[in-house]
Amino acid sequence: MPLVPLFQAKFPDITLNIDLTDDVVDMYDARVDVAIRAGQLKDSDLYARKLGQSPRVIVAAPAYLQKHGTPKQPEDLTRYHKLDLNLSRSFRGWRMTQDGQALQVSIDAQIKVNNGISLKHLAMQGAGLARLTRFIVDKELQSGALIQVLEQYNSQEFESFYAVFMGKRDLMPRRVAVFLDFLTEHTILR
């Protein structure tokens, strides 16, 4: 959302209608020009432009860690409240690396939500450990509002983000092409 005022200042004649959801919507039925999607894209007749990628990190509020302690290894996660995304594309566990070997830790989350920003806010309120893409929690990590845990076990897994749209560039409305170019030029996920 930080790019919206910048886009509007540069292109005041283009109207934006923003629908915030982490669910994958049918772009044709919903009449969506551009969707920002995370993760692997399914084969479809849609086009996509990669905006960037961000590593996944496990975070918690300082107060939560002070009260419950800090996990030292992946097996410790069973003793903590976990927060997770409740999306159809969501993994059934958290991928990590231990001694150079990939492992997937089964997560039985006590709270599941369908929105990454809500997940971040729950973690900040001390509801438990959450696994999110770094760009979503970067400011909170820098300010100390959230603390990264099990950093040495983070996999080198990155979440890719795409601008998804219908039709080839030469057939799309100019406003859509302008918006796509703006997103690509100003993306922070490099």
The residue with greater pLDDT, 161 or 156, is 161
pTM score, whole prediction:
0.79
The residue with greater pLDDT, 114 or 118, is 118
Domains (range + CATH), the chain? 3-53+159-186 (3.40.190.10), 54-156 (3.40.190.10)
pLDDT of res. 12: 92
pLDDT of res. 15: 85
Of 40-44, 68-72, 86-90, the poorest mean pLDDT is in: 86-90
pLDDT over 90 (residue 36): no
Share of residues in the chain with pLDDT > 90 (%): 36
Rg of the chain over CA atoms, in angstroms?
Answer: 18
Average pLDDT over residues 60-72: 98
Residue count of the chain, please give it: 190
Where helices occur in 31-85 by DSSP H, the ranges are 62-68
pLDDT of res. 88: 56
